Amino acid sequence: MTHTKNKVLIFLGPPGAGKGTQAQRLAQDEHLVQISTGDILRDHVRRDTELGQQVKPLLDEGKLVPDPILIALIRDRLADMEPVRVIFDGFPRTTAQAEALDMLLEELGAPVSAVPLLEVPDEVLIERIVERGRQAAERGEAVRSDDTEEVARKRQQIYREQTQPLIDYYGARGHLYHVDGVGTPDEVYRRIKAGLR
């Protein structure tokens, strides 16, 4: 079957919920392009484009890239896509970004199709993240600086403060659906697919 229809998915979920893994799998299955704004930014910096030159100093200093630049990057990425079939992972992060993205998608005639929200209880997330750090240490690999309980708890807090407005925003528009993120990756994936149908 050919995928001629536009499809725009936005993945939400706390750090450690397995968004990246599930988004990748869904992208392959549904013939979607996985868009991570971080990857796009790094790509522009690597290619030394005009946008890349603008964002490099910000990235080097760990500062947030302003919304208009992020939207310009996404516009550039979607411009020649026909049909628009994408999955956003890690964007939007704020209601302002969500509104700007909605306007851009409306221009392209490709509105948001669905917003799966992976839900995992905090204690399970903290366990997963700390376990990920423990396994890396056992393999003799560098442990990610955010794979500690303290940092993990802080990130959950920030996530909730930042993302709750997005959950409300997409919920009010009828795009949001809740996915139980506890279980094996296959179980969680089946729930995501069921929700899309």
Is position 97 annotated in a ligand binding site? yes
Is position 92 annotated in a ligand binding site? yes
What are 70-96's pLDDT values in tens digits? 898 899 889 889 899 999 987 898 899
Is position 5 annotated in a ligand binding site? no
| Domains within the chain, CATH numbers bracketed | 7-120+176-196 (3.40.50.300)
3-state DSSP call for residue 73? helix
Band the pLDDT of 161: cuts 50, 70, 90.
Answer: confident
Is position 7 annotated in a ligand binding site? no
Q: What's the confidence (pLDDT) of residue 3?
A: 65
**Other Cβ atoms closer than 10 A to 110:** 20
What are 187-197's pLDDT values in tens digits? 999 999 999 88
Q: What's the confidence (pLDDT) of residue 176?
A: 95
Residue 71 sits at the vertex; the CA angle it makes with 196 and 47, to the nearest 5 degrees, is 105
Is position 132 annotated in a ligand binding site? yes
Is position 93 annotated in a ligand binding site? yes
Is position 195 annotated in a ligand binding site? no
Is position 11 annotated in a ligand binding site? no
Q: What's the confidence (pLDDT) of residue 163?
A: 83
What are 121-146's pLDDT values in tens digits? 988 988 888 888 889 889 998 877 66
Is position 163 annotated in a ligand binding site? no
Is position 95 annotated in a ligand binding site? no
Is position 128 annotated in a ligand binding site? no
Strands (DSSP E) found in the chain: 7-11, 33-35, 85-89, 115-119, 176-180
Is position 155 annotated in a ligand binding site? yes
Band the pLDDT of 179: cuts 50, 70, 90.
Answer: very high
Model confidence pTM above 0.85: no
Q: What's the confidence (pLDDT) of residue 121?
A: 92
Is position 19 annotated in a ligand binding site? yes
Band the pLDDT of 1: cuts 50, 70, 90.
Answer: very low
Taking CA atoms, 32 is separated from 28, 123, 177, in Å, by 7, 32, 19
Instruction: State the average pLDDT for the chain.
Output: 89
